[in-house]
Amino acid sequence: MKKVAVLGSTGSIGTQTLDVIRQHPDLFQVSLLACGRNIERVKKQITEFQPATVVIANEGDLGKLKAHLPPETRAIAGEAALLDALGETDAAFVMNAMVGSQGLKPTMTAIKAGKTIGIANKETLVTAGHLVIAACKRYGAQLIAVDSEHSAIFQSLQGSNRSDVERLIITASGGSFRDWSAEDIQHATPKDALNHPNWSMGQKVTIDSATMMNKGLEVIEAHWLFDMPYENIDVVIHRESIIHSLVEYQDKSVIAQMGTPDMKGPIQYALTFPDRLELDGPERLNLWEVGTLHFEKIDPVKHQCLLMAYRAGETGGSAPTVLNAANEGAVERFLEGKLSFPGIATVIEKALAAHSVIAEPTIEEVLEIDEETRERVRNGSEW
């Protein structure tokens, strides 16, 4: 029986993690649930999974949970309480599906406790990869990728020597504007950008797919997860989203992981690694039904955000922190109708140009730079 903590339990990855656990009640037990403000959803999760600990964001919401807590479940609130709970929990596996920079400290706490961490929180590695990887080595913790692209790379590396790897190839659907001209994209609306052709995702991730920033963040993550130089990480547009990523070896053989677009597969693989279990949910991949797979090169005019992510990653230090924070703030303004779609890339570029890079920022410096950048972008400050 593997005991599991689910951070971000009411979000997309969190609920799908619980879907997987629900299919294997003899193998998994939920010890800890953590969420933000979706109290109604977490009430149902508490009733079903009866965890030892529930952590919510705001202390003012604790009263709403009282009548729904089993005798053996305690409810606490706030970041400090979450960090304490992670240090104390008997869960061997932590699924970090939290959104934003708030996922960094819980990741570091879980690492110091020697947990295995399913990492679905991009900000952890994008903003502080140097700190996270060093901590994993020091405390003997393991990070297992949950994003479909990184899970695909992880799966394609099994049974091979790292020294034999030549290149990582991350696939991208191309997002909502893959068939739009660069001129038409200038006038894109939030409604246009949210119309993703392949995946059902949250608003922010869907916009990132449209700008291709999601691939840029994934390139930075892959650099840290797999110890791969940026010049050896490529991105290719693959509109069917059947091949999730590929690994090229020095003998020019290429191993790919394939499957229908569904996040439950990568989630379950992280939970069960190195074993594989039966899984209900994803459709079986019948290639004769797919017919043809298409691949296209990146367009440097349409995909400026991806190229900026490469540059920020190669610069290193605090540059990726600024990249991520400026992007989140710009996407928020775009969704509010306060910024044009091309303005997202413009804001990020200005933020990076104005920043004096710190080579090896501490967690405190990362969080300070993150908040400062977000605040300036939210306020529409001139750089």
Q: How confident is the model at residue 200 (pLDDT cuts 50, 70, 90)?
A: low
Which amino acid, 141? A
Q: Give me the CATH number covering residue 356.
A: 1.10.1740.10
Shared domain check, 296 and 155: yes
pLDDT the model gives residue 177:
86
Put residue 50 in one of left, alpha, beta given phi > 0 → left and psi -120 to 50 → alpha: left
Task: For residue 23, give every residue at least 6 positions away whose Cβ sits within 8 Å of its Cβ, in sequence order, or none.
Answer: 279, 280
Residues 91 and 163 in one domain: no
353 and 245 part of one domain = no
pLDDT, tens digit, for every residue of 329-362?
999 999 999 999 999 999 999 999 999 999 999 9
CB 96 within 8 A of CB 103: yes
- Mean pLDDT for the chain overall: 93
Residues 170 and 222 in one domain: yes
Helices (H), 226-318: 264-272, 287-290, 304-315
Mean pLDDT of 250-260: 96
In total, how many domains does the chain have? 3
Q: Which residues are annotated as a binding site?
A: 10-13, 36-38, 121-123, 147-149, 173, 196, 202, 209, 214-215, 218
Tokens of residue 140, six digits: 């003997």
One domain, residues 256 and 369: no
Residues 217 and 157 in one domain: yes
User: Which residue positions form the known binding site for NADPH?
Assistant: 10-13, 36-38, 121, 123, 202
Contacts of 138 (CB under 8 A, 6+ apart): none
Domain boundary among 118, 145, 172: 145
**With contact defined as beta carbons under 8 Å apart, do 300 and 31 qualify?**
no
Residues of the chain with pLDDT > 90, as a percent, come to 83
| Region of residue 26 (phi > 0: left; psi between -120 and 50: alpha; otherwise: beta) | alpha
Confidence bin at 182 (pLDDT 50/70/90): confident
Give a yes or no: residue 7 inside a domain.
Answer: yes
pLDDT digit string, tens, across residues 21-49: 999 999 999 999 999 999 999 999 999 99
pLDDT of residue 198: 65
Report d(CA 296, CA 309) in Å as an integer: 19
How remote is the C-alpha of 227 from its chain's centroid? 18
Q: How far apart are CA 147 and CA 278, in angstroms?
A: 20
Q: Rounded to whole angstroms, what are the CA distances from 47 to 42, 65, 273?
A: 9, 11, 28
38 and 60 assigned to the same domain: yes
Q: Domain range for residue 210?
A: 150-181+193-260+283-301
pLDDT at 197 (0 to 100): 67
136 lies in the same domain as 237: no
Indicate if 292 and 322 belong to the same structural domain: no
What is residue 99's predicted lDDT score, i.e. its pLDDT?
Answer: 83
Q: How confident is the model at residue 66 (pLDDT cuts 50, 70, 90)?
A: confident
Element (H, E) at 4: strand 2-7
| 121 and 74 assigned to the same domain | yes
Residue 61: per-residue pLDDT: 93
Residue set of the binding site for Mn(2+): 147, 149, 218
Annotated binding site for 1-deoxy-D-xylulose 5-phosphate: 122, 148-149, 173, 196, 209, 214-215, 218
272 lies in some domain? no
Is residue 22 domain-shared with residue 138, that is, in the same domain?
yes
Say which CATH number the domain at 71 has.
Answer: 3.40.50.720
Domain endpoint, select from 268, 301, 334: 301
List, in sequence order, the alpha helices (H) in the chain: 12-23, 39-49, 79-88, 104-112, 122-139, 148-157, 182-185, 190-193, 203-211, 213-225, 264-272, 287-290, 304-315, 319-335, 341-354, 363-378
- In which band, very low, low, confident or very high, does the pLDDT at 199 lie, cut at 50, 70 and 90? low
Comparing 43-47, 193-197, 268-272, 280-284, which segment has the lowest mean pLDDT? 193-197
Q: Please tell me whether residues 173 and 290 are part of one structural domain.
A: yes
Q: What is the mean pLDDT of residues 163-176?
A: 93
